[in-house]
Structure 1
Amino acid sequence: MAKDTTGRLHVTVKSGGKRKLSSKLWLERQLNDPYVARAKREGFRSRAAFKLTEIDDKYHVLKSGMTVVDLGAAPGGWSQVAAKRIGLANGKGRVVAIDLLEMPEIAGVAFAQLDFLSPDAPKRLIAMMEGRADIVMSDMAANTTGHRKTDQLRMVGLLETAAAFAAEVLKPGGTFLAKAFQSGADAELMVQLKRDYASVRHVKPAASRQDSSERYVLATGFRGSQA
């Protein structure tokens, strides 16, 4: 164990045994990530909670009493942040989370284990919300193959589908926030979003690893399903 350039102790994971190099590097990065340690201290289920926190601190997308949809919610870090910021513990607002995977219960959050690509998913979500959403958010990422071009196209495809889903369940004036990756492959989608929303921008919170091409699309002022 040694100190890094910031003076923090740096944990090195030993190689050997059945552990692959990629697993070693991932584990080492997790052990040395200050956001991972902070998430454990503050009771968040993932470091991703701080990405949403930082975006909301700057752009104020979560407001008291809102109805929130969290796509691909497991393990629940974003739902935790949303629940706190809309005042769910005080009976304000609603958070509906969906994922293909199971997700441990979060007080007040309605969870459905379903595929948002399912044709009846929007109808089911609207029924759970008893109306439409103020914000649809997604921290989902497509499974990677290691082939850069293929992975970019997969991510854009997932983003396009999430945007189409949002258009079905959002109220006019609503917000869409979703993970993207820096590439020119999403240019056509950006044109569509700029038609459907009053404002569209890319944002990169500090909690996103700086060596990653990860960023987020933030679209506000949904013009309505007839846009």
Structure 2
Amino acid sequence: MARKDHYYNKAKQEGYRARSAYKLKQLDGDAGLFGPGNTVVDLGAAPGGWLQVVSEEVGDHGKVVGVDLQRIRGIDRDNVQTIRGDMTEDETKEELTAVIGERGADAVVSDMAPNMTGEYSLDHARSVYLARQAFEVAQELLATGGDFAVKVFDGPDVADLRADMEREFQYVRSMRPDASRDSSSEQYLVGKHFLTAPVRKGDELDVEIVDVGSEGDGIAKVEEFTLFVSGTEAGDMPTVRVTDVKPRFAFAEPIDDED
């Protein structure tokens, strides 16, 4: 039996609206996207197979919001809400923000794909365009440390999209679930731990060391964000280069004065 038949039949037997439900299950199993009590947004959610999966994973204390231009047939779960609208329009984003709350979403996912033309370069470019739209919306909705997963077709434009995501997440993985058809060129870019820090890896800036941490590193503040600077003491005012960024703090090293 072909793999596509296996997942199609499995979805029918287990009550999922689309075989793509198993792609999300596999992404979650490998990357740990969801947990009990999470708030999750599904962009381009019709027909609702991913909403079903997320609803099960976040449980009764979680919240799942699906957005699509198409009508999404109601899902009989109290933790699922749907919004019919264009995810890029301010009205839709305002409605989304009101539903998920000021704290933001723990994860944003998107399985959107363009209408296929059969022309590889055009289909690839359109898929990257949709993925970038989802990425931009995710940056507005995610809480610090949140995760993002988006489908994109293989091709030359994926590298630039991934590089842009890598500036906004602690790390990014490229994943291909086993449930993807062999003939498909799809992959999923998964960004883990959204960064809301005012600095990024490689930034150079002047700071003042205001304290020393328990590990002996100097502590500087950048817009109330904590920056640990090795080899410094309270009162120092070095120029530093950021070497690593976490969701709630970052590390830096002093730049040697070459003059």
TM-score range normalised by the length of the shorter chain:
0.7 to 0.9
More strand by share: 2
Q: Structure 2 matches for 1:99-138, cutoff 5 A?
A: 99-106=68-75, 107-108=77-78, 109-131=80-102, 132-138=104-110
1:166 to 2:166 alignment: no
Structure 1 residue 159 displacement after superposition? 0.6
Quick check: 178-187 or 156-165, which moved more? 178-187
Q: What is the number of equivalent residue pairs in this alignment?
A: 196
Q: Are 2:1 and 1:36 aligned?
A: no
CA shift, 1:149, in A, is: 1.2
Question: Are 2:124 and 2:152, in contact at CA under 8 Å, matched by a contact in 1?
Answer: no
Consecutive unaligned residues in structure 1, runs of 5 or more: 1-7, 11-28
CA positional deviation for 1:226: 5.3
Q: Return the offset for 1:130.
A: 2.0
Q: d(CA) in 2 for partners of 1:63 and 1:225? A: 24
Higher relative contact order (CA 8 A, sep 6+): 1
Any gaps of 5 or more consecutive residues in structure 2?
200-259
Correspondence 1:146 to 2:118: yes
What one-letter code is carried by the residue in structure 1 that aligns with 2:112? M
State the TM-score, normalizing by the size of structure 2: 0.72
For residues 196 and 151 of structure 1, what CA distance do their matches in structure 2 show?
26
After superposition, the Cα gap between the structure-2 partners of 1:122 and 1:226, relative to the gap in structure 1 and judged at 3 Å, is farther
Helix, strand or coil for the counterpart of 1:70? strand
Q: Does 1:212 align with 2:184?
A: yes
Cα shift at 1:225: 7.7
CA distance in 2, matches of 1:153, 1:120: 27
Give a deviation string over 1:105-128, Cα, whole Å, max 9, x none.
111211111110212322210101
Residue 66 of structure 1: aligned partner = 38
Q: So what's the TM-score if we normalise by structure 1?
A: 0.82
For 1:113, the aligned partner's letter is R
Distance 2:197 2:101 in 1: 18
Q: Aligned partners of 1:127 and 1:152: how far apart in 2?
A: 33
- Is 1:98 the equivalent of 2:67? yes
The secondary structure found in structure 2 opposite 1:161 is helix
Partners of 2:110 and 2:70 in 1: CA distance: 15
Residues in 1 aligned to 2:85 and 2:173: alpha-carbon distance in whole angstroms: 29
Structure 2 residue 152 is the aligned partner of structure 1 residue 183: no
CA RMSD of aligned residues (A): 1.6
Instruction: Answer yes or no: is the 8 Å Cα contact 2:41–2:65 preserved in 1.
Output: yes
CA distance in structure 2 between the aligned counterparts of 1:124 and 1:99, rounded to whole angstroms: 13
Between the aligned partners of 1:225 and 1:217, the Cα distance in structure 2 is 21
* Range that drifts further, 143-152 or 204-213: 143-152
Q: Which has the higher helix share?
A: 1
Change in 2 beyond 3 A, CA 1:35/1:166: same
Which residue in the other structure is 1:25 paired with? none
Distance 1:63 1:128 in 2: 19
